[in-house]
Amino acid sequence: MSSVVRISSQDEVGTRLGRVRTTGFVENGPAFVPRPRRVLESYALVLVHAGAGSYVDDETGSRPIAPGDVVTVSPGWPHWYGPPPGGTWSEIFLVFDGPLFDALAVEGVLDARDPIRRVAPLKPWRDRVAELADRVRPGGTTARRRELLELAALLVDVRGERPDVEPVTRGIGLARDRLAGDLGADLDLRDVAASAGLPYETFRKQFRAAVGARLPRSGSTGASRRLERCCA
């Protein structure tokens, strides 16, 4: 399947509050690792809705990214994100700057050291971000201000989602979502642990600490139904 990058809009005018500089869509984007790492002049929001990859910077290290993850990038912050070599992913992105967003950074809504949030369910979030990214940028100052406040509200709402697990237990969060996704599936819990990059006994202990559910020592599949309450 071919890769498609579509720039939906660009705006160099803005207001004193700020501006939405560029918005667009990437479908089946391939891996691209910049050397040195990319540094933006503006803030950016990226919602990944298909595929998987990672986010990397010198402060937070490497963190996996899956569908439903929102990445926010701060200006002047060296970073990289994307699918692995040979892989692809699809995203919606918005690039923006100005005093309004600087204030959100001061408040911790935009935090370069905490760049990833998981949003769920994915479809309404994807629809919301896509509508904002795909619209024609408004021409009047009042309409531009309203749009900037709408984007600010989106950023606040993303930040208000349940913080994802710490990097060391990130795989636990993905495993929880996998188990909750189909409680009737014939899943081998040892395979789930392996997908989280952990030995089963380590996975079992970390899962209990993070989620509150006790997994069987055997790794039998009968436990998945009993996880319904804690994983829902």
Statement to judge: residues 100 and 132 lie in one domain: yes
Domain stops at, among 128, 160, 192: 160
Statement to judge: residues 138 and 33 lie in one domain: yes
Domain interval for residue 217: 167-231
In the chain, how many domains are there? Answer: 2
pLDDT value of residue 184: 54
Statement to judge: residues 29 and 140 lie in one domain: yes
Provide the 10 A C-beta neighbour count for residue 225.
Answer: 10
Helices and strands in the chain, H and E counts: 8, 9
Query: 213 falls in which pLDDT band (50, 70, 90)?
Result: low
Query: 195 falls in which pLDDT band (50, 70, 90)?
Result: confident
* 155-164 mean pLDDT: 79
Task: Return the C-alpha torsion angle 122, 23, 91, 107, nearest 10.
Answer: -60
Indicate if the pLDDT at residue 223 is higher than 50: no
Statement to judge: residues 86 and 25 lie in one domain: yes
Q: What is the DSSP string of 142-189?
A: HHHHHHHHHHHHHHHHHHHSPPPPPGGGHHHHHHHHHHHH-TTS---H
Sheet holding 19-30, edge to edge: 4-10, 19-30, 88-97, 43-51, 69-73, 116-118
Q: What is the DSSP string of 59-99?
A: TTEEEEE-TTEEEEE-TT--BEEEPPTT-EEEEEEEEEESH
Domain stops at, among 132, 160, 188: 160
Statement to judge: residues 179 and 87 lie in one domain: no
pLDDT value of residue 94: 97
pLDDT value of residue 164: 47
Statement to judge: residues 138 and 32 lie in one domain: yes
Statement to judge: residues 103 and 204 lie in one domain: no
Q: 36-92: per-residue pLDDT in tens?
A: 889 999 999 999 999 999 999 988 788 999 999 999 999 999 999 999 888 999 999
Statement to judge: residues 123 and 18 lie in one domain: yes
- Region of 212 (left: φ > 0; alpha: ψ -120 to 50; beta: rest) is left
* 174-200 mean pLDDT: 71
Statement to judge: residues 107 and 205 lie in one domain: no
CB burial of residue 108 (10 Å; 0-12, 13-18, 19+): exposed
Q: Is the dihedral of CA 95, 174, 227, 201 positive or negative?
A: negative
Statement to judge: residues 107 and 135 lie in one domain: yes
pLDDT value of residue 33: 75
Mean pLDDT for all residues in the chain: 84
Please tell me the pTM assigned to this model.
0.70
Query: 232 falls in which pLDDT band (50, 70, 90)?
Result: very low
Statement to judge: residues 144 and 30 lie in one domain: yes
Domain stops at, among 160, 189, 222: 160
Q: Are 52 and 31 in contact (CB under 8 A)?
A: no
How far apart (Å, rounded) are the C-alpha atoms in residues 173 and 162?
11
pLDDT value of residue 61: 83
How far apart (Å, rounded) are the C-alpha atoms in residues 7 and 185?
40
Q: 88-138: per-residue pLDDT in tens?
A: 999 999 999 999 999 999 999 999 999 999 999 999 999 999 999 999 888
Q: Which residues pair with 6 in a beta bridge?
A: 25
Statement to judge: residues 89 and 125 lie in one domain: yes
